[in-house]
Amino acid sequence: MEDASASRLWETALGRLQLQVTRPNYDTWLKDTVGLRFEESRFVVGAPSDFATEWLNTRLRPLISNVLTALTGQALDVGFEVLGAPGLSQEAALTVNRGSATASKPSWPRPRLNPAFTFDSFVVGSCNRLAHAAAMAVASAPGHAYNPLLICGGTGLGKTHLLHAIAQEAVRSDLPVVCASAEQFTTEFVTAVRDHHTDQFRYRYRSPDILLIDDVQFLQGKDQTQIEFYHAFDELHGSGRQIALTCDRPPQDLPSLDQRLRSRLLCGLIADIKPPNLHTRMAILYAKADAQGLSMGTDVLEFLASRLPDNVRELEGALTRLAAYARLTHRPLTVELAAAALEDVTSDLPPPLPTPEAILAAVSRHFNLSRQLITGRDRDRQLTYARQIAMYLLREEARRPLTEIGRLLGGRDHATVLHGCTKISKEFNLLPETRQHVECLRRTLRHQTAA
């Protein structure tokens, strides 16, 4: 039963606490509490659930104790118990609420993680180096390195892998961590509202030292869920705890995301993961093959890397299919076997991009000019024209950056390459002769890559 003086003191304390904590913090953990009684130099507060008492004890007990001491003029410790539960004995209460070494504390549930998704198994390349380094920094110093961390990239490029790798390190360090997808967060929130268990939901997502949310783009269009996530974000970030998320695009490209939440995502480090280039795809395939105990030559790896898409999941799936095909047919892993095993997989894919070498060789043959002349310094009109078409094809067909094109063509600068590409692009639409040269070279290159 409540003590009248305890109830009045607590109402006054709540007024002060409301000014010292965030609004969502107050509404979630303090609003429904009551002052129960004095026990000598200890004040007992009632809370509606075990989750609330645990959270208040671990997060707000020092602040509440200071407020009560200031109001009464005497040092007061504070304890918490569930409303309606039988009163704790003084000895038991002191053990729990003074945070002694023998205090019982509920263990944090271990997240469901893919054991293969570790930092050691992540293949690092130029396409993902920043995201990998940032994730490792977050795992090493949660809340201090990059907070929040947002990893952006397309499907199947390794975002979830890095998120799980952070979680594995947290579990190894015995840190409370929640790792969930945005879809899971939404489902749990809807269920909690329906079943009147929002206090448990909020304890789960506002209490860990590390919160990891995958595919945050799925929060778009879910207004109430976004509000709930926004408050969880603010609570965790405001108390210095780590947040890391993944998304398939930058926050500014999420028009249906709440503006306040979008601004929170933009305040931290945004690390992009790009599709892996040929070298990185080969490294990924090599690592996956080694993990499966497969032995294959460089020619097979290069064939797979050049014919398969840049989605890491699809690379792994194709490798698994090839391994099964080899075991079932009792044949060694060769290029011919890979072509046969993956015929229906690769038949729907666009042909690989032509290499710079193939383009320069084709231009040399087409204009009957040597490679040395095309890449040299001579500015003869015919040479300049052929050189600019080479620039255009390297840009449009091989998708090479301007700086690399300049290097391939004798060390020309960015502005020169851009001028050449722009000139041929305009002439392609205006001059039939230029169109014929470009189309003829395109047909030659596509025939070569399809062969």
Q: What is the CATH number of the domain that holds 66?
A: 3.30.300.180
Any domain includes 37: yes
CATH number, domain at 174?
3.40.50.300
pLDDT at 416: 92
Distances (CA, A) of 372 to 105, 118, 137, 438: 75, 48, 47, 21
Per-residue pLDDT tens over the stretch 120-166: 989 888 889 999 999 999 999 998 879 999 999 888 889 999 999 99
Any domain includes 104: no
Clarify whether residues 155 and 242 are in a common domain. yes
Strands 42-47 and 34-39, bridge-based pairing: antiparallel
CATH number, domain at 379?
1.10.1750.10
Band of residue 309 on the pLDDT scale cut at 50, 70, 90: low
Clarify whether residues 327 and 425 are in a common domain. no
Tokens matching residue 224: 């109430």
Question: Mean pLDDT over residues 381-400, rounded?
Answer: 91
Domain edge (last residue) among 235, 254, 273 = 273
Clarify whether residues 266 and 203 are in a common domain. yes
Per-residue pLDDT tens over the stretch 193-235: 998 888 889 988 998 999 999 999 999 888 899 999 999 999 8
Any domain includes 18: yes
* Domain span at 335: 278-346
Clarify whether residues 73 and 176 are in a common domain. no
E strands within 169-221? 177-181, 210-214
Any domain includes 122: no
d(CA 30, CA 188): 23
Tokens matching residue 343: 């015929």
pLDDT at 101: 34
Clarify whether residues 333 and 393 are in a common domain. no
pLDDT at 86: 46
**Which range among 156-160, 171-175, 338-342 shows the weakest confidence by mean pLDDT?**
338-342
Asked whether 264 and 148 are in contact (CB, 8 A), the reply is yes
Clarify whether residues 245 and 216 are in a common domain. yes
Any domain includes 415: yes
Per-residue pLDDT tens over the stretch 75-94: 888 999 988 654 443 333 33
Question: Which amino acid, 309?
Answer: P
pLDDT at 94: 35
Clarify whether residues 269 and 135 are in a common domain. yes
Clarify whether residues 241 and 182 are in a common domain. yes
Clarify whether residues 283 and 248 are in a common domain. no
Neighbours of 383 (CB within 10 A): 16
pTM value?
Answer: 0.57
Any domain includes 102: no
Clarify whether residues 147 and 263 are in a common domain. yes
Tokens matching residue 43: 């004040």
Band of residue 31 on the pLDDT scale cut at 50, 70, 90: confident
Asked whether 393 and 412 are in contact (CB, 8 A), the reply is no
Domain edge (last residue) among 289, 322, 346 = 346
Distances (CA, A) of 101 to 96, 104, 105, 271, 362: 9, 9, 10, 40, 76
Greater confidence (298 vs 193) lies with 193
Domain edge (last residue) among 302, 320, 346 = 346
Clarify whether residues 316 and 263 are in a common domain. no
pLDDT at 379: 84
How many domains does the chain divide into?
4
pLDDT at 330: 85
Any domain includes 395: yes
- As a residue count, the chain comes to 451
Clarify whether residues 148 and 229 are in a common domain. yes
Asked whether 64 and 17 are in contact (CB, 8 A), the reply is yes
Per-residue pLDDT tens over the stretch 341-358: 777 555 444 566 788 999
Band of residue 288 on the pLDDT scale cut at 50, 70, 90: confident
